[in-house]
Structure 1
Amino acid sequence: MPFAADVAALVTPPHAMVAPAQQTAWTTITVRSGDTLWALAIKHRTTVAAIATKNRLARGGAVIHIGQKLLVPAPGAAKPAPGKPATTPTKPTTTPPKKPATAPRVHVVRSGETMSGIAKRYKVSLSTLLATNKLRASNYIFVGQRITIPGPGAVAKPAPKPATAKPAPKPATTKAPTTRAAAVAASKAKLAAMTVPSRTETADLIRSTATRHGVDPKLALAIGWLESGWNQRAVSYTNAVGVMQIMPITGTWASQLAGRKLDLYDVRDNITAGALVLRALQNMAESKDQAIAAYYQGLYSVRTRGLYTDTKAYVANVKAIYGRL
């Protein structure tokens, strides 16, 4: 069963990640508790880089504070320039070197980029790009991540080599299952060596943490129970760990929301990560049910594909547990 971590991220709809149009009206907002530059970029349909540049923020806007005044695009103000596409791909960090048609290239993800935008830039289909990198549409990509770009017309098997050439090395992706299995084993061993609270103590931590972050404690308890049975030593086959079943990549996003590095193996930080992700999803989702579904499937996937059969069951189970608490 997929776990919450798989979902956090691609909470960003594609229109929120494209570069803003040149003709944009800006309005002033005040930073509130829990705001991050990433969340503001999503909300106002622009990029982190655009807000940081417009406001001349130090270190690319790595730190913003409550009460700070920021300029953001006004609602409905952005208009595409006549005769130009509505969205303009950002320039890559470096010009991809020219290689044979079937030779893969590597793109390093920058702030505000999406897989669909990268696919458009390199003129490859999104499905091919996702398959090449063993990703799903709901997966979150992060700044600095290396994305393999297949050559035009790439096929599943490499081109034939001369008889005297050395055998082609196995694709790096064939090591993924072994790498993941090793990561899962390491997580289980680490948690097995740690002291964790009882279920009753864990439930108390979920209530207090959810309340502190403005999340319905019963909803956090219901999701925590369905994900792990309130067991901090739980580890999924995707290496989602702890009470709230947070994957490392989701932990990175939760740390941005928290404004500090969260240790997912620490029960308090794990529950904090789940509460912050749930709060962010509730702020962006159209309904409570959609937020619950997004914790499991991903908000972008929910919006573009609808609820999968197992997602519908997940939502129903969370609501049933909620009703019994």
Structure 2
Amino acid sequence: MMLDRHQLEAFATVVETLSFERAAEKLNVTRGAISQRIKALEEALSAVVLVRDKPLALTSVGEVLFKHVAAVRLLEADTFGQIRPHGVSGRGAMPLAIGVDAHSIDTWFCAVVRRLIERNTVELEVVVDDADPGFPALTRGEIIGCVSTVPRPARGCVATPIGDIAYRCVASPEFIQRHFAKGFCLHSATSAPAVLLGRRTALLDRYLDAVFGVSVGRYRKNFLPSPASQLEAIIAGVGYGLLPEQTVLSRLASGELVDVLRHMSFPVTLYWHHWRAAPPICESISSEIIACGREILQVPQTQQSMPGSAQHCIAWPG
């Protein structure tokens, strides 16, 4: 069975604009024509593809279909680029979106972006977000892949390890004296305010679990929207938190910040999540990201054991 091109385009445009009216305007047809095309598409599939509430939402079938449309668009753009490499009126540039966690884009991933733009005829959009385990943007086809600390792939996707990024748990000297003067222990760690990057990341949870050998659970969490705001808050003595080693090494050397575990880094493995079945251009981009990441990042390693236990404080400084 061949899916109707006009029906697919109407469906995809409604999803992208979140409106039947705006989709009709963009495609220069009536709203009724949009509705008829999507109804015909659903009849052909014997399944509902859109939940017609406010806001509009995709059904599980709709998610699969939207990813199909995204893949077809990429495949057609790739084919057109091969036939006419220099394009006509800008059509040779292929729009691609990828997702990256905020700490990566703030440290190592900009080098990857430069390579992708230099080596490929693409219009690249980098979505900065810390993907949750569901990876909705990836499974819907809104992005072709994403960097994440989550090892488990989403349905229909593959998670490939690309390297470790080293973190340090840091605080200002004044904060150390106020909250960890008697040592970094389970009680002080859960009583002191922590500064985290967004709600989706659980890196500090993993760090504390590794340090104390138990699942810490609740502690004083404060969420900030960007690595810069997180760093600024920690320097100001508002709280303690995990930051990439690359970001804090100079500040540790100057004494502006202090490692709560005395120079103990915490390696976190990053994964490139991508579609299992993807157009050639997507596979090429994925290969470049994985290769470049492995050049820049540390080789993945077994996470080092952290000195400490739930019963005893880790003294600072000795």
- Measured against the shorter chain, the TM-score band is under 0.3
Taking structure 2 as the reference length, the TM-score comes to 0.25
Name the one with the larger strand percent.
Answer: 2
TM-score, scaled relative to structure 1: 0.25
The structure that has the greater radius of gyration is: 2
